Structure 1
Amino acid sequence: MVKLMNVMKRYLKIIILGWMLCTVQNLVAQSTTIDTTGDLFKDFRTELMWEANVKIGNTIVVGESKRGIRRIIPITGGTFSGSKIKGDVLPLGEDWQLVRPDGDTELYARYLLKTHDGHLIQVINRALIHTGAKGNDFYCKSVLDLEAPVDSPYDYLNHAVFMGTIRFPVLQPGEDPYVIIGVYRVM
């Protein structure tokens, strides 16, 4: 019985060693395909899907937290339009913001779009706003998660990665506050 156990232990060690060697060989083979020229992302392209004029309400300042200053901006409506899609921004969302101790602002917006033909699309938009010390290195980009009905003409939105831009227009007297969100599909 002891002899059988020793044989089984040796056999198990050989199997584990063989598995480890195969794994290391796979890792080495993968590492040789790493692009060190910096050209890996040169072929990224984007396609503008739509621009949205998103109306916003008054800022609610939650206050100082352990992570920074929290505030909430209600989303009160708006419109969106692109070459393949258009409709309304429903007044059913909010932009939760965190002004970090380093001065950058993280945005987490969640809202709904209603297409001109009646389909609802959920939008989750995470953004980062950075303004440098001199104000000349402004950065504001976002990553969007879109969720469209699978039985709709907009199911293609469920199968791509989207990035966004946020612009803050100069408001005219009497104009309701809004932001302009550009939504781009990464090709």
Structure 2
Amino acid sequence: MNFNFYKNALGTVTLALLLVIAVHGFSQNSNPENSEDIYRDFKTELMWKANVKIGTMINVGKSKRGTRRVIPITGGTFSGPKIKGEVLPGGEDWQLVRPDGDTELYARYLMKTDDGTVLQILNKALMHAPAQGEEGGFYVKSVIDIEAPIESSYEYLNHAIFLGTLEMPQLKPNEAPYVIIGVYKVL
């Protein structure tokens, strides 16, 4: 058989598949009733809460984008309905206090499950404290990327979107500083 025949046939089949996908996707999204309601009521499932110990903040200083600072992640624990373990020391939370007063956080750290699996966490958050007279309260939410080893019992974490919360608890005297990060899977 001729190689060009296979090449042309493969090209035709690929084009046909792309057209089917495009038409199917367009027909799903062209219904105004569906497009307005599809994301109205997101549902989430708690995956875990982490008590993340933090070190002393390093103030990097003012930059062209705002004030930069870094907070070391020194350890901690996490637990949820299907998973638990420890937050490994060595991660960092890079922060940018923007000229408008909001703070962008970019944390990268590792967590080790109780059965020895290491997960990589990238947590990108936004904090907003309302100015005096501004409506609304303190706001902090994040988008979390979880990378689990392939063929591990936690591979399912690679196939979802996760949102996060951040709590800064009132510390007791002589208590080491920590934050509480809630991780929720978008269903």
SS of the residue aligned with 1:137?
coil
Structure 1: runs of 5 or more not aligned: 1-21
Please state how far the C-alpha of 1:39 moved relative to its aligned partner: 1.9
- Change in CA separation of 1:147 and 1:28 when aligned onto 2, cut-off 3 Å: closer
1:36-59 Cα deviation digits (max 9, x unpaired): 884221342100000000000000
The structure 1 residue matched to 2:39, chosen from 33, 41, 47, is: 41
**In 1, distance between residues paired with 2:86 and 2:180?**
13
Greater Cα radius of gyration, structure 1 or 2: 1
Residue from 49, 52, 55 that aligns with 1:51: 49
Rounded to whole Å, the distance in 2 between the matches of 1:28 and 1:76 is 48
Match of 1:120 among 96, 118, 121: 118
Asked whether the equivalents of residues 144 and 164 of structure 2 are also in contact (C-alpha less than 8 Å), the reply is yes
Percent identical residues: 63
Instruction: Name which of structure 1's ranges 36-45 and 140-149 shifts more when overlaid on structure 2.
Output: 36-45
SS in 2 for 1:145: strand
Counterparts of 1:9-28 in structure 2 under 5 Å?
none
Contact in 1 for aligned 2:163/2:186 (Cα 8 Å): yes
Match of 1:77 among 54, 75, 78: 75
Aligned to 1:177: 177
Aligned partner of residue 42 in structure 2, secondary structure: coil
3-state SS of paired residue (2:31): coil
Please tell me whether residue 142 in structure 1 is matched to residue 139 in structure 2: no
Using the size of structure 2 for normalisation, the TM-score is 0.82
Deviation at 1:28, TM superposition (A): 7.8
Q: Give the structure 1 partner of residue 161 of structure 2.
A: 161
CA–CA separation in structure 2 for the residues paired with 1:28 and 1:80: 42
SS in 2 for 1:158: helix
Larger mean Cα displacement after TM superposition, 30-39 or 95-104: 30-39
- Residue deviations 1:66-102 (CA, integer Å, cap 9, x gap): 0000000000000000010000000020000000000
Distance 2:108 2:27 in 1: 42
**1:101 paired residue number:** 99
CA distance in 2, matches of 1:28, 1:184: 30
- Please tell me the root mean square deviation across aligned C-alpha atoms, in Å: 2.1
User: In the aligned structure 2, how far is the partner of 1:32 from the partner of 1:177?
Assistant: 50
Runs of 5+ consecutive residues of structure 2 not aligned to the other structure: 1-18
